[in-house]
């Protein structure tokens, strides 16, 4: 399926477009990225509606420390096993400079008694805090979210998709009953699915992870999975039912309404700057980014075209006046009137940056009261009257948002394969990738064997999967439902 970019792999295309479009770049610190202004503006447009959704579902923001004492991480056995391999560890609190040798080094006399880990996720430090915040059922549910940076050391970093430091939000909630915690975990999965589909125009499949793919310390991990243009899957967000694991590890009990002490039930859930990578790899094409209007930092670029100086002044003024009117409608508009570059250069530049709509205005348009309108995602070029352009711009953007979603949905459907033979599955994975819906016998053993042989993992057991008698494609043992396989980021 992999969308083809002339003479370049999707991976190289991705790196190039992220840097050239001004979204982000590699920093000299291995695995860490610099998010450039255009990329940051996109992240802000992702944060805002997400934050509103969290508030609308009753959550409050707070902020917990960057550092976690090593002993905290160790309190939940599975948790520490899951994160031990990728932790940045602070061991000293001072550096020593030697003026003569021009050397700097950690001061050996300033070693911490207990090393600190830069948070890879905050369950442990937060549950240690919740212990003091929760006494009785009246303190529950406790619904907290945090916007923060986290660090997980990465061997093979990719901008946005897998970086050592990344930005995210992590929700952490505490409940009186298992049912309520499970409802919360599913509610936030729904919030994520709605946001990603509605704002990023990325279709997702909601499902539960197999025990082998669960978050370290969770009893159940829910996920939203999508398929990118290169035929690889991406986990776009996860929501965990943590049972009473962290409450036990940090001894967090509450007095229930029968005056009995019980351990508290927990969830956690998060999405990250990875969503930017998902957006790029869901919609982009050979010309560069294609950004969904709802999150695009610039929704419309207006390019005035002129030959003479007199024309320049007139079309530029006109372009700014149109921009002003569109701005009043709440649209994000930019006029590119830079005299340093020719229109053709600008067309390429703003296509690369994925701006959904381009309005071009030349002297003839000025005379005729017209505007040339070009849609980024399909290149459709139409001339409209200025009045209609101003009246319809908002609707056009909504339409583009819908079309992007439908196009991605169609692409994913085309590349989702119901397979009953292991050989066919292997062939499809080798040739074009994609989602594979196949029967599995439910054992970790089989799951691991398939992963080792094909590189594909079980992305999820879809929540909407129907019961269906079948045989595991690998072992032939009985299976009740198909699960979703793919090679993944």
Among 20, 92, 253, 409, which residue interacts with a second copy (rule: CB under 8 A)? 92
Buried b (16+ CB within 10 A) or exposed e, 76-99: beebbebbeeebbeeeeeeeeeee
Tell me which stretch binds a second copy (CB under 8 A): 70-78, 211-219, 319-327, 452-460.
70-78
Q: Is residue 116 near a second copy by the rule CB under 8 A?
A: yes
Task: Decide whether 34 or 406 has the Cβ nearer to a second copy.
Answer: 34
Task: Decide whether 80 or 373 has the Cβ nearer to a second copy.
Answer: 80
Task: Decide whether 66 or 461 has the Cβ nearer to a second copy.
Answer: 66
DSSP state of 140: -
Among 8, 62, 391, 448, which residue interacts with a second copy (rule: CB under 8 A)? 62
Smallest distance from the beta carbon of 111 to a second copy, in angstroms? 10
Task: Decide whether 324 or 406 has the Cβ nearer to a second copy.
Answer: 324
Q: Is residue 64 near a second copy by the rule CB under 8 A?
A: yes
Among 115, 157, 211, 343, which residue interacts with a second copy (rule: CB under 8 A)? 115
Among 44, 52, 179, 251, which residue interacts with a second copy (rule: CB under 8 A)? 44
Q: Is residue 84 near a second copy by the rule CB under 8 A?
A: yes
DSSP string, 202-268: ---EEEE--GGGS-TT-SEEEEEEEE-TTS-EEEEEEEEEEETHHHHHTT-EEE-TTS-EEEPEEEE
CA distance 356 to 292: 7
Which of 152, 162, 167 minimizes the C-alpha distance to 26? 162
Residues 49, 50, 56, 57: what is their CA dihedral angle, to the nearest 10 degrees?
160
Query: Is residue 204 packed enough to be buried (19+ CB in 10 Å), middle (13-18) or exposed (0-12)?
Result: buried
Q: Is residue 342 near a second copy by the rule CB under 8 A?
A: no
Whether residue 413 is preceded by a cis peptide bond, meaning omega within 30 degrees of 0, is no
Which of 392, 362, 232 minimizes the C-alpha distance to 300? 392
Smallest distance from the beta carbon of 345 to a second copy, in angstroms? 15
Q: Is residue 72 near a second copy by the rule CB under 8 A?
A: yes
Q: Is residue 58 near a second copy by the rule CB under 8 A?
A: no
Binding mask 153-182 for a second copy (x = CB under 8 A): x-----------x-x---------------
CA distance 157 to 31: 5
Among 18, 42, 46, 68, which residue interacts with a second copy (rule: CB under 8 A)? 68
CB 433 within 8 A of CB 1: yes
Among 2, 3, 20, 36, which residue interacts with a second copy (rule: CB under 8 A)? 36
Q: Which of residues 277-336 bind a second copy (CB under 8 A)?
A: none
Which of 254, 1, 222, 243 minimizes the C-alpha distance to 131? 254
H/E element, 142? strand 142-151
Rule CB under 8 A: which residues touch a second copy? 25, 27-29, 32-37, 39-41, 43-44, 60-74, 80-81, 84-97, 102, 104-106, 115-118, 125, 128-129, 132, 138, 144, 148-149, 151, 153, 165, 167, 340
């Amino acid at each position: 399926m992999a969308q083809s970019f002339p003479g370049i792999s999707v991976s190289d295309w991705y790196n190039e477009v992220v840097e050239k479009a001004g979204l982000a770049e590699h920093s000299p610190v291995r695995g860490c990225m610099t998010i450039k202004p255009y990329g940051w503006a996109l992240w802000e447009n992702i944060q805002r509606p997400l934050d509103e959704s969290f508030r609308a579902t009753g959550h409050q923001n707070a902020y917990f420390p960057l550092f976690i004492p090593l002993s905290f991480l160790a309190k939940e056995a599975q948790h520490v096993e899951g994160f031990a391999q990728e932790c940045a560890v602070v061991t000293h609190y001072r550096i020593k400079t030697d003026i003569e040798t021009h050397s700097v080094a950690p001061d050996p006399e300033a070693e911490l008694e207990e090393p600190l880990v830069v948070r890879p996720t905050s369950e442990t430090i937060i549950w240690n805090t919740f212990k003091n915040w929760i006494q009785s059922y009246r303190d529950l549910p406790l619904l907290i979210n945090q916007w923060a940076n986290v660090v997980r050391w990465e061997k093979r970093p990719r901008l946005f998709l897998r970086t050592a430091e990344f930005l995210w939000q992590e929700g952490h909630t505490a409940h009186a009953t298992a049912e309520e915690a499970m409802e919360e975990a599913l509610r936030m999965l729904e919030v994520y699915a709605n946001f990603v589909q509605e704002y990023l125009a990325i279709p997702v499949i909601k499902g539960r992870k197999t025990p082998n793919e669960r978050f370290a310390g969770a009893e159940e991990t829910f996920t939203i999975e999508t398929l990118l243009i290169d035929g690889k899957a991406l986990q776009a967000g996860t929501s965990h039912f943590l049972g009473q694991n962290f409450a036990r590890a940090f001894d967090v009990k509450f007095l229930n309404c029968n005056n009995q002490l019980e351990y508290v039930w927990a969830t956690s859930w998060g999405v990250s700057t990875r969503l930017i990578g998902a957006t790029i790899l869901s919609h982009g094409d050979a010309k560069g980014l294609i950004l969904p209007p709802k999150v695009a930092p610039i929704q419309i670029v207006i390019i005035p075209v002129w030959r003479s100086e007199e024309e320049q002044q007139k079309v530029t003024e006109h372009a700014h006046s149109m921009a002003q009117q569109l701005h009043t409608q709440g649209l994000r508009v930019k006029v590119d009137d830079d005299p340093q570059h020719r229109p053709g250069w600008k067309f390429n530049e703003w296509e690369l940056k994925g701006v959904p709509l381009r309005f071009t205005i030349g002297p003839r348009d000025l005379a005729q009261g017209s505007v040339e309108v070009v849609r980024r995602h399909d290149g459709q070029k139409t001339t409209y009257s200025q009045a209609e352009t101003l009246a319809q711009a908002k609707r056009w953007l909504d339409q583009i948002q819908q079309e992007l979603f439908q196009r991605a949905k169609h692409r994913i459907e085309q590349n989702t394969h119901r397979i009953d033979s292991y050989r066919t599955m292997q062939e499809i994975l080798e040739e074009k990738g994609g989602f594979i819906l196949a029967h599995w016998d439910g054992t970790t053993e089989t799951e691991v064997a398939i992963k080792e042989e094909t590189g594909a993992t079980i992305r999820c057991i879809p929540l909407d999967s129907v019961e269906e008698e079948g045989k595991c494609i690998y072992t032939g043992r009985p299976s009740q439902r198909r699960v979703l396989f793919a090679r993944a980021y």
